[in-house]
Structure 1
Amino acid sequence: MTSLVRYLAADVLRGQRFLAPLLVFLGVLGMLFSSDAGQPLEAYSGSSALLYPVCAWMAVVVATSEDAVRREITVVSAGGWSRVLGAVAVVAVLFAVAMAVLAAVWPVVTNPHPYTFTEFLVGLGAHTAVALLGVGVGLLFARPVFDAIGRTVLAVFSVVVLTYPLGRVTPLGWVLDALGHNQVSLSVLWAAVVGAVLVAGAVVLGVRRA
């Protein structure tokens, strides 16, 4: 599994399609914290809202880094779709967690309001939870669930756009509500659990659809 994860990660980096979501993420993050972004946890709500769609986008990039023929070869070489999709999920989560860490550290350096270690940990947990939710949504509609990239993009875009107006009905809403009110809440932990379940469910669904 380790060698498969390394191969897929190297393939994503070599293809450079990851640069588009990464540059969007860095650009918007820079704008969010170019001035006083507010109290520590409130400031984290903006970067968390940004991280969700970016991680969904990055998950689609990871899941579709190989064309159909190369992916079939990888599946045969790896011993089945379950191993490949498991490795895809690991790579997507690694990318997402790296961005979550960056998003949690960025305002500590740039925001004029001082951060306590507890606030940083809450922010890191919130970003990780949101990142997992994004990865889960991205993988849920990627290959082999949907073979056509157009259908994948449309489905992921629709789910992401519809998530925001639903507010506290969704796990993302739980996180943003807690951060927006400058509160430490167990809802962040539950959102992380939902995100992890969503990622695992996307892998299981993909194996069944393969």
Structure 2
Amino acid sequence: MIALIRYTFATVLHTQRYLAPLLLFMGLMGVLTVNGTGPLPPAYASSAGALFVSSTWLTMAVMSLDDPPQRAIVVITAGGQSLRVLLAAIGTVLLSCLVLMAFGLFFPLWMGDYLVTAADLLLGIEAQLTCALVGIAIGVLCSRLVFKRQGYALVAALALMTGALFVKGAPPVNRLFTLMSTTPDATKLLAPAGAMLAVSAMILAGFTAATHFVAGRRE
């Protein structure tokens, strides 16, 4: 698995597929979190939203690195276990998101004027990880493994992202953002945010299983 992740990282760096999602994340962070004041939960909701959009794009880019012949070679090299190749791609994106999470955690503190507590930082981690997992899940389901035509994949990804962001009360993304925008006390949000994190992990597991099933039938 480590070798597959290293291979995926090397391919991403060589093809520079990470640049557009990275620039999008930086741009959203600059627009949404600069010169903020007051309680930190709304600022971390903005950071999580930026990571949600960027992780979806990054996942779709990573999942489309190899064309079908090259992917077949990679699967054979991995012992014929296509699930390992899929999990390596997800692991690569998740590790990349962890780096972005660190930036999203401290950039608002640097550019704004906030009173920071340990609960605020923990909430920021939970919120960003929740959105990263959901973004990765959408990116996996809307990848080339499921949609042969990239136009259809883009439309599906936009529809799922829009639903996750704007359907009122929908867990985990909209529900989490609603709580963070209306409750300034981070301590009260830790338990609900933890529950949303668990939901996002289940969504990723379900979407990964569905993608593996569809890809397996095609291969």
Q: TM-score, normalised by structure 1?
A: 0.93
Equivalent residue for 2:197, pick from 160, 175, 192: 192
CA distance in 1: counterparts of 2:54 and 2:160, whole angstroms: 13
> Residues 57 and 73 of structure 1: is their aligned pair in 2 closer, same or farther, counting only changes over 3 Å?
same
Residues 134-163 of structure 1, C-alpha deviations (whole Å, 9 max, x = no match): 111111121312222222111111111222
Corresponding residue of 2:206: 201
Kept after mapping to 1: 8 A contact 2:171/2:199: no
SS at match of 2:169: helix
Q: Deviations over 1:149-188 (max 9, x none)?
A: 2221111111112222212123101211221122432221
Partner residue, 2:45: 45
Which position in structure 2 is the counterpart of 1:123?
Answer: 124
Deviations 1:48-84 (A, max 9, x none): 2222121111111111112222111111111221111
In the TM superposition, 1:55-204 aligns within 5 A as 55-78=55-78, 79-181=80-182, 182-183=184-185, 184-185=188-189, 186-204=191-209
Per-residue Cα deviation, 1:176-210 (whole angstroms, up to 9, x for no partner): 12211224322211221122222222222222112
CA RMSD across the alignment = 1.6
CA contact 1:101–1:127 (8 Å) conserved in 2:
no
176-185 or 80-89, which deviates more: 176-185
CA distance, structure 2, for counterparts of residue 143 and residue 188 of structure 1: 31
Residue type of the partner of 1:57?
A: W
Corresponding residue for residue 30 of structure 1: 30
> Residues 23-55 of structure 1: CA distance to partner in whole angstroms, max 9, x if unpaired?
011012112232225421121122222221211
Q: Which runs of 5+ in 1 are unaligned?
A: none
The C-alpha deviation readout for 1:104-157, integer Å capped at 9, x for no partner, is 121122211121122111111111111111111111121312222222111111
d(CA) in 2 for partners of 1:61, 1:7: 15
The aligned amino acid for 1:17 is R
* 1:66 alignment partner, SS class: coil
Moved more, 121-130 or 32-41: 32-41
Give me the whole-angstrom Cα distance separating, in 2, the residues matched to 1:3 and 1:209.
25
Does the 8 Å CA contact 2:57/2:139 hold for their aligned counterparts? yes
User: Contact 2:126 / 2:194 at 8 angstroms: preserved in 1?
Assistant: yes
Task: Tell me if the contact between 2:59 and 2:140 (Cα under 8 Å) persists in the aligned partners.
Answer: yes
Matched residue of 1:95: which SS?
A: helix
Deviates more, 1:17-26 or 1:68-77: 68-77
Q: Could you state the TM-score of these two structures normalised by the residue count of structure 2?
A: 0.89
5-14 vs 189-198, which deviates more? Answer: 189-198
Number of residue pairs aligned between Structure 1 and Structure 2: 210
Does the CA contact (< 8 Å) of 1:32 and 1:46 recur in 2?
A: yes
- Percentage of pairs with the same residue: 27
**Distance in 1 of aligned mates of 2:214 and 2:198:** 24
Runs of at least 5 residues in structure 2 that lack an aligned partner in the other structure: none
